[in-house]
Amino acid sequence: MTSTLPAALTAARTAVDPELRKVIGKLDPDTRGVCEYHFGWTNADGSPNGGGGKALRPALVLLSAQAVAPNGAQAVPAAAAVELVHNFSLLHDDLLDGDTSRRHRPTAWTVFGRPAALLAGDALLGLATEVLLDSTSGDAIASARALCAAVRSLIAGQNADLDFEHRADVTLDECLHMADEKTSALLACSTSIGALHVGAPRETVERLHAFGSELGMAFQLVDDLLGLWGDPEVTGKPVLSDLRARKKTVPIVHALTSGTEAGRRLGELYGKEEPLTEAELREAADMVRRAGSQQWTQDECERRLAAAHQHLPRATGNAEAIESLTELAEFIVRRQR
Amino acid sequence: MTSTLPAALTAARTAVDPELRKVIGKLDPDTRGVCEYHFGWTNADGSPNGGGGKALRPALVLLSAQAVAPNGAQAVPAAAAVELVHNFSLLHDDLLDGDTSRRHRPTAWTVFGRPAALLAGDALLGLATEVLLDSTSGDAIASARALCAAVRSLIAGQNADLDFEHRADVTLDECLHMADEKTSALLACSTSIGALHVGAPRETVERLHAFGSELGMAFQLVDDLLGLWGDPEVTGKPVLSDLRARKKTVPIVHALTSGTEAGRRLGELYGKEEPLTEAELREAADMVRRAGSQQWTQDECERRLAAAHQHLPRATGNAEAIESLTELAEFIVRRQR
């Protein structure tokens, strides 16, 4: 697994951060403070902090726009918009899931309280449209509409994800559909909105969307695997947290519906009233592996990544750009977190 | 006090409901179900329910657009957008305040759970921009930007409102500023966004904004008075709920900062660690009255209403439209809820 950061990520961070800081600067001081903490720019006491996320989505926006349009650099507002939507969803997700840690730091709601974190999420969602509409170049209406559609998918996926926790009969198809809505939709938006914003032809936008959609699924499958076997030191999340919360992620649902003895035992554990013990959690993870679902998920991830790559040469003849996007896609899927 | 509904409200409901239903129809079934319940279109079990809110804001959008632009009827998407933002804020407000009843029905979160209500609010905020951007006529960018600015104010006001609950030193100016952000900003957006959407001149838009801003403050002051002395049968909220939650509404802060003996006693009650008894709540309300703050708030409300009316003739020469807007403004301020 590679761990050096592709240059595209650093470049995206440099290009997008000023735009993000500018638009977040429009907020009232209280709401802004929560957002700045969440973005890793400040500590809980407001003092500066060098941190920040990996800018995966902004990098995808900028690279894909540059790959297909000579004025791709004008996609910075689109890159900022996607990053704002992503962070709106993180703020609200952490509230919904009661997660206390993110990127190795206490989540915003644990520091500022639930109401302030909820409102900060609302604010970021509003700013996501605003940053596009404020942009003086590019097709703001087309890109903002694409973003709104992705937000609808994201919400549908989050709703399904929560719903699954209370259902014993989730099928693999339902689970893949949920992952598609929860994660792939915003990734597909990331790889196409920049091209849309700078006026690339429709077919090009659609190819890039298809690339991001497959990549997004591969990304989610890696996330699901890390949720079971990731190193907490690296992921920043408690070990086996997905099983503890009885999440129905893809490998788990694959195991539950595998018809194997291991899957049956996993279902038994998931059916228990009381919280699972540490030993039971480890057993549950082992049942996912024994059901062949770890392997299947890894294979499916590779299939999705290969499918993603196939869309690129049909979107652009820019070999250098294809190489950068390919490198970034590989990084995303090979990451430990 | 008048209780017959102005014709403009019924007309707005008729004009805007199809647009609202269409855009809410874009959501996944789970999220849509929560929204349809919240809008009063369905019961908790999904069966149809004739209800719905009073469409105050859509009526203001449509009337003000028609007053200043021959193509004012094209403002329907703007009317829907404002109603979506209003309802996004209600869904999240009810969560933040833990309110269990709204419009004489259980709040959405009590029926569908907190996560589903939070996501439904998110969805409505996203749809608010989307309904504007989907509109084929009108200046979608200008109106969507105005809406985003109002959303920022709304969030700032909600944050301040929550913050005030934990502060003993809130000044009247701070409190009026909070009311301005929390309520007036969206009302001012309501009375100007329609004109903006259909391309009215800038000065006209500004006059209408000023009209809505004053009206919005009058509206909030009435709300604050009803929060203290409104009939629960009419308001649909428990009696003295603002005092129970130690809210810092305008009349309460006016009393607390009045320098009177009654204000001092109110401060004493608000400083108590334990929840106030029913007798103490009644005493607190009486102290607001005795401090002269009920009267001051009523007077301030009249001053704001008069100031609002003065802006109208400068916005339009359309006497019939001024009459309709005046009638609606009076209805809003004279309402019992």
Q: Binning pLDDT at 50, 70 and 90, where does residue A2 land?
A: very low
Three-state DSSP class for B259?
Answer: coil
What mean pLDDT is predicted for residues B285-303? 97
Smallest Cβ distance to A96: which of B115, B140, B149? B115
Amino acid code (one letter) for A18: P
Task: Choose from A69-78, A108-117, A162-171, B327-336 the range with maximum mean pLDDT.
Answer: A108-117
Q: Binning pLDDT at 50, 70 and 90, where does residue A103 land?
A: confident
A31 and chain B: CB distance < 8 Å anywhere? yes
- Selected for mutation to probe chain A from B129, B134, B139, B151 (highest A CB count within 10 Å) is B129
CATH code (residue B320): 1.10.600.10
Number of domains in chain A: 1
pLDDT at B273 over 60: yes
Chain centroid, CA B39 distance in Å? 15
Q: Binning pLDDT at 50, 70 and 90, where does residue B94 land?
A: very high
B174 and chain A: CB distance < 8 Å anywhere? no
- DSSP sequence for A146-189: HHHHHHHHHHHHHHHHHHHTT-S---HHHHHHHHIIIIIHHHHH
What mean pLDDT is predicted for residues B256-260? 97
Here the ipTM equals 0.94
Instruction: Specify whether the backbone of B240 is left (phi greater than 0), alpha (psi in -120 to 50) or beta.
Output: left
Chain centroid, CA B101 distance in Å? 16
Q: Is residue A140 part of a domain?
A: yes
Task: Report yes or no: B50 and B7 within 8 Å, Cβ to Cβ.
Answer: no
Contact B152 A26 (CB under 8 A): yes
For residues A263 and A267, give the distance between their C-alpha atoms in angstroms, rounded to a whole number. 6
Q: Which two tokens stand for residue B152?
A: 């920022």
- Looking at residue A260, what DSSP letter applies? S
Task: Report yes or no: B216 and B195 within 8 Å, Cβ to Cβ.
Answer: no
Three-state DSSP class for B209?
Answer: helix
Contact B152 A27 (CB under 8 A): yes
Distance from CA of B94 to the nearest CA of A (A): 11
CB–CB contacts below 8 A, A to B: 124
A139 and chain B: CB distance < 8 Å anywhere? no
B193 and chain A: CB distance < 8 Å anywhere? no
At B89 the pLDDT is: 97
Q: Is residue A194 part of a domain?
A: yes
At A260 the pLDDT is: 97
Contact A126 B148 (CB under 8 A): yes
Average pLDDT of chain B to the nearest whole number: 93
Q: Is residue B130 part of a domain?
A: no
Contact A121 B122 (CB under 8 A): yes
Residue of A nearest to B140 (CA): A141
- Looking at residue A237, what DSSP letter applies? S
**Residue A230, Cβ density class (10 Å: 0-12 exposed, 13-18 middle, ≥19 buried):** buried
**Short-list A200, A174, A218, A221, CA closest to A310:** A218
For residues B212 and B185, give the distance between their C-alpha atoms in angstroms, rounded to a whole number. 8
Contacts of A148 in chain B (CB under 8 A): 126-127, 129-130, 133
Contact residues for B119 (Cβ-Cβ < 8 A; gap 6+): A92, A96, A155, A158, A159, B31, B34
pLDDT at A241 over 90: no
Q: Is residue B24 part of a domain?
A: no
What mean pLDDT is predicted for residues A41-60? 90
pLDDT at A231 over 90: no
Q: Is residue B239 part of a domain?
A: yes
What mean pLDDT is predicted for residues B27-33? 97
Contact B130 A145 (CB under 8 A): yes
Q: Binning pLDDT at 50, 70 and 90, where does residue B335 land?
A: confident
pLDDT at A145 over 50: yes
At A336 the pLDDT is: 63
- Taking only the tens place, the pLDDT of each residue in B112-122 is 999 999 999 99
Task: Report yes or no: B158 and B85 within 8 Å, Cβ to Cβ.
Answer: no
Q: Which two tokens stand for residue A162?
A: 């929560």
B95 and chain A: CB distance < 8 Å anywhere? yes
Distance from CA of B91 to the nearest CA of A (A): 12
A27 and chain B: CB distance < 8 Å anywhere? yes
A141 and chain B: CB distance < 8 Å anywhere? yes
Q: Binning pLDDT at 50, 70 and 90, where does residue B34 land?
A: very high
Q: Binning pLDDT at 50, 70 and 90, where does residue A1 land?
A: very low
- Taking only the tens place, the pLDDT of each residue in B105-148 is 999 999 999 999 999 999 999 999 999 999 988 889 999 999 99
Alpha helix segments (H runs only) across chain B: 7-24, 29-38, 56-68, 76-97, 108-112, 114-133, 140-164, 172-179, 185-197, 202-229, 232-235, 241-244, 250-256, 261-270, 278-290, 293-315, 319-334
For residues B298 and B287, give the distance between their C-alpha atoms in angstroms, rounded to a whole number. 16
Degrees to nearest 5, angle at CA B7 with B3 and B12: 115
Residue of A nearest to B24 (CA): A152
Contacts of B129 in chain A (CB under 8 A): 129, 144, 148
B160 and chain A: CB distance < 8 Å anywhere? yes
Contact residues for A98 (Cβ-Cβ < 8 A; gap 6+): none
Q: Is residue A184 part of a domain?
A: yes
Q: Is residue B103 part of a domain?
A: no
pLDDT at A183 over 90: yes
- Taking only the tens place, the pLDDT of each residue in A255-305 is 999 999 999 999 999 999 999 999 999 999 999 999 999 999 999 999 999
Residue of B nearest to A155 (CA): B119
Contact B118 A133 (CB under 8 A): no
At B168 the pLDDT is: 87
Contact residues for B77 (Cβ-Cβ < 8 A; gap 6+): B19, B131, B132, B134, B135, B138, B140, B197
What mean pLDDT is predicted for residues B53-63? 93
Residues forming a β-bridge with A101:
A106
A 101-120 → B contacts, CB under 8 A: 114-116, 118-119
Q: Binning pLDDT at 50, 70 and 90, where does residue A73 land?
A: confident
- Selected for mutation to probe chain B from A31, A133, A145, A186 (highest B CB count within 10 Å) is A133
At B2 the pLDDT is: 43
pLDDT at B276 over 70: yes
Smallest Cβ distance to B125: which of A122, A140, A144? A122
- Looking at residue A48, what DSSP letter applies? B
For residues A210 and A304, give the distance between their C-alpha atoms in angstroms, rounded to a whole number. 11
Contact A31 B130 (CB under 8 A): no
Contact B158 A125 (CB under 8 A): no
- Looking at residue B42, what DSSP letter applies? B
Contact B116 A88 (CB under 8 A): no
Q: Which two tokens stand for residue B279?
A: 């007798």
Task: Report yes or no: B188 and B213 within 8 Å, Cβ to Cβ.
Answer: yes
Q: Which two tokens stand for residue A333?
A: 């899927």
Contacts of B125 in chain A (CB under 8 A): 122, 125-126
Return the half-sphere exposure (C-beta side, CA atoms, 13 A cut-off) of residue B14: 6
Smallest Cβ distance to A155: which of B122, B133, B149? B122
Q: Is residue A1 part of a domain?
A: no
Contact residues for B90 (Cβ-Cβ < 8 A; gap 6+): B38, B102
What mean pLDDT is predicted for residues B197-220? 95
- Taking only the tens place, the pLDDT of each residue in B213-253 is 999 999 999 999 999 998 877 777 777 888 988 899 999 99
CA gyration radius, chain B: 20
- Judged by average pLDDT, the poorest of A174-178, A316-320, B176-180, B217-221 is A316-320
How far is residue A301 from each of residues A176, B111, B234, measured CA to CA in Å?
12, 38, 58
Residue of A nearest to B146 (CA): A130
Residue of A nearest to B159 (CA): A116
At B3 the pLDDT is: 52
**Short-list A247, A177, A239, A226, CA closest to A334:** A226
- Selected for mutation to probe chain B from A114, A148, A177 (highest B CB count within 10 Å) is A148
Q: Which residue has the tokens 């003993």?
A: B168
Q: A290 is in which domain, residue-wise?
A: 7-334
Return the half-sphere exposure (C-beta side, CA atoms, 13 A cut-off) of residue A77: 23
Contact A118 B95 (CB under 8 A): yes
Contacts of B139 in chain A (CB under 8 A): none
Residues forming a β-bridge with B184:
none
pLDDT at B318 over 80: yes
At B237 the pLDDT is: 72
